A and B are shown apart, each in its own frame.
Chain A
Amino acid sequence: NAGVTQTPKFQVLKTGQSMTLQCAQDMNHEYMSWYRQDPGMGLRLIHYSVGAGITDQGEVPNGYNVSRSTTEDFPLRLLSAAPSQTSVYFCASFAAGQGRHEQYFGPGTRLTVT
């Protein structure tokens, strides 16, 4: 299993540009999430999904959109990039069953907005 994969690893955008960060998992997990991590800080939840076709907002959703058309994929769209969105973005997935608490994280996308 590849686990959780993210592309690209690095990205530089100019202010106002849009782009999509890709995330895929091959563990058949129901739950998927997007977090951002700023220097010296913990992870903050952007959006999450509890299954195909179901998404919801997290703590810092403004400026981002998500969709979940399949169990495997959960892309994050930046609508109009701003310097404040410079961050490291992590995608995570986990299974929904009782007693399952481990979230699996992808390797991250390092985004710089100039």
Chain B
Amino acid sequence: GQSLEQPSEVTAVEGAIVQINCTYQTSGFYGLSWYQQHDGGAPTFLSYNALDGLEETGRFSSFLSRSDSYGYLLLQELQMKDSASYFCAVRREGSARQLTFGSGTQLTVLP
């Protein structure tokens, strides 16, 4: 089957850098996605990595190592509005590009 592991909680201060790790197990790999979800809100797409390396989008970057079945989301210059849950996800086996999500990491940004 598939599984994704990520820390349940991370805390950091405003202006800092935080890294949220994700390890996955899946027989067929098509890429690692990251989603952000604020309390009471809908998940929103942040990034997608299909190949090894770092993808940068503004203050957010995402990294993938396929040989290690590992990725991370890097958030720089943290702001209070970054307090949210962050989910990694892989394509679900045999289901037309649907996703299997990790349990999520609750990021709290302190002033």
Q: Is the CB of B98 within 8 A of A102?
A: no
Q: Provided the pairs A31-B97, A45-B99, A50-B96 are in contact, do residues A105 and B42 lie with their beta carbons within 8 angstroms? A: yes
Q: Which chain A residues lie closer than 8 Å to B96 at the CB level?
A: 31, 48, 50, 56
Q: Which residue of A lies closest to B8 (CB)?
A: A40
DSSP majority for the B interface? loop
Stretch at the interface among B13-21, B73-81, B100-108: B100-108
Chain A residues lying within 8 Å of B95, measured Cβ to Cβ, are 45, 48, 56, 58
The answer to whether residues A41 and B42 also contact, given A101-B31, A102-B48, A103-B99 and a CB cut-off of 8 A, is: no
Partner of B87, one of A42, A106, A108: A42
Beta-carbon contact of B87 and A101 below 8 Å = no
Binding site for B on A (CB under 8 A): 31, 33, 35, 40-45, 48, 50, 56, 58-59, 90, 94, 96, 101-108
Q: Scan B1-25; emit 1 where CB is below 8 A from any A CB, else 0.
A: 0001000100000000000000000
Give the residue name and chain of the A residue nearest to B32 (CB): A101
Q: Which residues of A contact B35 (CB under 8 A)?
A: 103
Expressed in whole angstroms, the Cα–Cα distance for A35 and B37 within the complex equals 14
* A-B contacts besides A42-B89, A56-B96, 4 pairs, CB < 8 Å: A42-B87, A45-B92, A45-B99, A106-B42
Is B29 located at the chain interface by the 8 A CB criterion? no
Complex alpha-carbon distance, A48 and B97, angstroms: 10
The distance from the CB of B77 to the nearest CB of chain A, in whole angstroms, is 24
Q: A105 is contacted by which of B43, B102, B103 (Cβ under 8 Å)?
A: B43
